[in-house]
Amino acid sequence: DIQMTQSPSTLSASVGDRVTITCRASQSISAWLAWYQQKPGKAPNLLIFKASSLESGVPSRFSGSGYGTEFTLTISSLQPDDFATYYCQQYNSYPLTFGQGTRLEIK
């Protein structure tokens, strides 16, 4: 199974900050990586697919990059609505696996 490791587990930031979350795969997954945002009590929402492709309707302040085993999600200028938990997911092979999540909280 491909293990996905996110860092940090918790991130404290302020509105307007630029933040980056890292996701590492235990083996190469090419660009087969997605990012999701989840708010408490809600289903996750797709942000990014194929490592860097922005899902329709997602604000352009979200961006993704990476290839192989190391990936990043960047939020260029944090908005109040962005405080949530973020998950990466590899879809290179079954079983599909997620990172453990990064909780983005208000400083």
Residues that bind another protein (CB under 8 A): 32, 34, 36, 38, 42-46, 49, 55, 87, 89, 91-92, 94-101
Torsion of CA 27, 33, 34, 35, to 10 degrees: 60
Is 27 or 77 the residue whose CB approaches another protein more closely?
27
Closer CB to another protein, 17 or 68, in the complex:
68
Distance of CA 64 to the CA centre of its chain: 8
Quote the least distance from Cβ 62 to another protein, whole Å: 15
Q: What 8-state DSSP symbol labels residue 78?
A: -
Secondary structure of 32-46 as H, E, C letters: CEEEEEECCCCCCEE
**To the nearest whole angstrom, how small is the minimum distance from the Cβ of residue 78 to another protein?**
22
**Least spacing, CB of residue 44 vs another protein, in Å:** 6
| Phi-psi sector, 80: left (phi>0), alpha (psi -120 to 50), beta | alpha
Q: Please report how close the Cβ of residue 88 comes to another protein at its closest, in angstroms.
A: 10
Give whichever of 19 and 34 is closer to another protein, judged by the CB atom. Answer: 34
